[in-house]
Amino acid sequence: MFLEYGLTDRLTVQFKGDWQSGEDAFVEYEGRGPLEIGVTWQAWRDDRTAVSLYAGYADGGEGRNAGYAAPGVGDSDWEVRTSVGRSFGGAGRWGPSGSFVDIQAARRMREGLPDETRIDATA
């Protein structure tokens, strides 16, 4: 489940949570996944570009708290993230009417698991 609520025109609060049930080669698991709460602040925006900053906290659950870790491993995480998105106009008569590119960089500081640096891109 993912919920996001706009507190102001430039500030949102987000909540993520899930219930997990799975089976790996050596373990079956079922339980709450990590619960995450965070805030996103739109730092800058013009007609085509937006820059935002995110800070969040996640409480580990009984399920997978990281895709590579055994179920239930990992306690809590703090994450900071910056995101830059840009829209582009149409590509002429035969191209798409518009495009959007989003690039994000994040640092996740974990208790009980290795810290992570993430780079995400969407086009």
What digits encode the pLDDT tens for the residues 67-103?
788 888 888 999 999 999 999 886 666 666 788 999 9
Cα 38 to Cα 57: distance, rounded to the nearest angstrom: 6
Predicted confidence (pLDDT) per residue in 37-60, tens digit: 999 999 999 999 999 999 999 999
- What was the pLDDT predicted at 70? 81
Q: Which of 77, 80, 81 is nearest to 65 (CA)?
A: 77
Neighbours of 122 (CB within 10 A): 10
* Residue corresponding to tokens 């891109």: 121
Helix/strand/coil for 14? strand
